[in-house]
Structures are given as structure tokens and as C-alpha cells.
Amino acid sequence: MTSPNFRRFYNAFREIITIVHSTPDIEELMELVVWKIVEILSAKGAIFRLLNLDSDELELSAAYGIGKSYLEKGPRLSHKIITDLCLQDRVILIDDIHNDPRIQYPKEAEAEGIKFIIDVPLTIGNDAVGIMRIYFSKVREFNEDEQSFIIAIAEQCSCALSKARLIESHELKYHQLVLQTEKLSSLGRMAAGIAHEINNPLAGILLYSSNMAKKVAPDSRLKEGLDIITHETVRCRKIIQELLDFSREKEPKKQPFNINEIIDKALAILENEFRLSRIEIKKNLADNIENIMVDSSQIEQVFVNLLINAVQAMPGGGIIWINSSISYQEDLIVVEIKDNGPGIIVSELDKIFEPFFSSKPKGSGLGLSVSYGIIHNHLGRLRVESDGVNGTSFLVELPILHQDN
């Protein structure tokens, strides 16, 4: 037979569920719930204390029906008490407020008119996050229906708290991402300005050092110094060009191209580099690759960057595998460039596409950032895989977009 309180509890529970789902503001939610709890249980008052994740202390979040002077004095519940309560995973009925260790100010509680207290844990998973405490002006019995109702309300409040903290966490990550994006945008504009300013004097240094090198004896010490100046100036010019490429948001000029032909062109450009660096190329390109809409010069730049990275990862020589295939499940063309060098340290994998991050002593840290941006502008993905021991694999994934897309 249904308990006479069942309908009353059911209607109250529905009202509280509506409250839980109607507001993301946890303080407003807690204030509405304590008011509703006091009303349905004919209690004197109720409070919520939530665990502050920074201070590891339980702080008052909401209260109803209890005097301000009593709330300001306490009780200051310890984290241990709340944890012990959560471990018991049940409602705690306190009918002797003078001798229970959970009550720190029994005389003040009695002066407030409190005779009986109920404690209910708030948990998220296995973690204690707070407590709901309900005050009564007289000792009374609580049947199973009433205790189940209180526990159900506490569980809903815990879920709401979990949702609110998740939203807060996502908002924090979003604001951090916005800040990082603004910083990178400013950095790009600054880099472009600096690069243009430096380009002209660099061109002059390169011109004069090259001309002077032609006029001195081949075995002269001056010739050696001039060659170093020329070499380092060319390196600076390359870094500046990468800065300019990074700062420009070049819209890809897409035309139908066969990805295998772009791969072959990139390999031909670096053929002499492979020979001098004692690199063996193992190529496995799919025969059924169809034309896709890409900017061939930009995609070629990506492949050249990835191949040069692979060469530099193996100063003593090694093997580079380059494979192309079609992922029909995801409607992608996939190009993998893999080396058998020492691999990228696992802890650096998350940073590898960040501008100015480089694991190489003389690296500018811009090649992979530029490549990542190019593939992103093609609506594709550039991924890296490495266990830090058995080489590195870069995967270029490009969507199969036809000309009419």
C-alpha cells in the first residue's frame, strides 16, 4: 500500500527537479532547495555547506530559517567529518546535540531553538563535495520514505553541482583559449612587422658578403668568414620567410590534384638532400587515389617540411616511409610520413605544433605550425604519433572534397 506521504514527496521531488534543471547558478539553486526542504519536512531551517576546492574548507553556500548570528559562529564542519559521513553513505540523525561530536556549538544551537539535526552527504563520484544539514525544533521519527526522499534530493543537488563545475571548467578553458588566440594574433602581426623591417638590411648583407666572397682568394681566411656570414644570413632569411608565412592567413587556391603527384614532386625537390644525408626512401602510394581539391603548392610545402623534419631527426642516416591511402569510412585521403629516428619525447607531443616550439637546437619552431595551419585551412588534420623510442609518424588527413563542394 502506498505511504500517505508518497504523493506529497513525489510532488515536492518534481518541483525540486524542475528547480535543479532551470538554473545553472549553483547558489540560486541551493537557496531554492533549502527553502523547499524546510517547507516539505516542516523543519526549522536548512543549510548547504560546499567544499571549497582551493582552501579545502566547507563554506556556507545557502541557508534558510536559521539566524545569522548562529550561522556566523558555526558550525565549522571539518573535511574529516564530511568524508566520514560520505563513507557511511546514509542520512545521519542527530537527536542529542549536546553530546554529538558533529555539533560544535550545542548551547548556541539550543538557544536558536534547535533540538534535532539531520546530516546528508553531497558526493560527486567517490568524492565528498559538501553536506546538507536540516534543523528541527523537536526530536521526531523519520520513516524510510522520508529518508529516501532526503537522499534523493541530495543526489540531485550533487548532480547539479557537478554540472555547474563542469560548465565553469569549460568556461575557464574557453577564456584561456580566447586569450591564447589573441596573443597569437598579436604575435603574428608583430612578427610580420619585424620581418619586413629586417628583410631589407638582410638582403644588403647577403649581396655584399656574396660579392666580397667572389673577390677574395679561395684559400683566404677572409673567404671562410664571408661564407659563414652568407650561410647564416640565408638561414635568417629562411626564418623570416617562415615568420611571414606564419603571420599570413593565405586562403588556399584549390584545384583538382592527385595527392601522389604532389608527393612525388616534394620527393624530387629533396632528392639531393636525401642522398647527402644517407636517407633511404620507401614509397607506397595507393593506385586508386582520386583527385581532390587542394592548393598544390601549399600541400607540397607541408610535405617538404615534414620530410625535412624526418631527415633532421636522423643525422646519421635512416629510412623514411611515405604512404598514401584512402579511408573510405571517414572519406579521407591519408598521407603518412614516418622515420626510424629516436622519436619525439612523449611529453613534447602536445606542444609540437605550437609556434616557436622546437626540439632541435637551431630550429625556428615555425615549420610545423605553418604546416598545421595549411592543413587546417584545407579542413583536414595533421597528427603526430611517437612513443619517444621507435621513430615519429606524421599523418596528413585531407577530406575528399570534389570541385562542386
The confidence score (pLDDT) of residue 181 equals 65
Strand partners, 48: 62, 132
Q: For residue range 39-91, list pLDDT tens digits in order.
A: 888 889 998 888 776 766 777 888 888 888 788 765 455 555 555 655 555 78
Q: How confident is the model at residue 369 (pLDDT cuts 50, 70, 90)?
A: confident
- In contact, 135 and 44? CB cutoff 8 Å: yes
Q: For residue range 281-325, list pLDDT tens digits in order.
A: 999 999 888 889 998 888 988 998 899 989 988 988 999 999 999
The confidence score (pLDDT) of residue 1 equals 39
pLDDT at 247 over 60: no
Distance from C-alpha of 8 to C-alpha of 297, rounded to nearest angstrom: 72
pTM for the complete prediction? 0.46
Sequence-distant (6+) residues with CB within 8 A of 386 are 343, 344, 346, 349, 392, 393
Q: For residue range 23-44, list pLDDT tens digits in order.
A: 667 777 788 888 888 888 888 9
Q: Which carries the bigger pLDDT value, residue 354 or residue 139?
A: 139
CA-wise closest residue to 77 among 105, 97, 39, 98:
105
The confidence score (pLDDT) of residue 360 equals 57
State the average pLDDT over residues 235-243: 71
State the average pLDDT over residues 162-190: 73
State the average pLDDT over residues 369-375: 85
In order of their start, the domains of the chain are 6-171 (3.30.450.40), 172-247 (1.10.287.130), 255-399 (3.30.565.10)
CA-wise closest residue to 360 among 394, 315, 396, 301:
315
Average pLDDT over the chain, rounded to an integer: 79
Q: Which carries the bigger pLDDT value, residue 12 or residue 295?
A: 295
State the average pLDDT over residues 254-267: 92
The confidence score (pLDDT) of residue 356 equals 60
Q: How confident is the model at residue 2 (pLDDT cuts 50, 70, 90)?
A: very low
Q: For residue range 384-393, list pLDDT tens digits in order.
A: 998 878 889 9
Grid coordinates representing 319 are: 629510412
Work out the end-to-end distance of the chain between its first and last CA atoms, rounded to an integer number of angstroms: 65
The confidence score (pLDDT) of residue 205 equals 84
pLDDT at 338 over 90: yes
The confidence score (pLDDT) of residue 405 equals 47
The confidence score (pLDDT) of residue 383 equals 92
Q: Which carries the bigger pLDDT value, residue 378 or residue 26?
A: 378
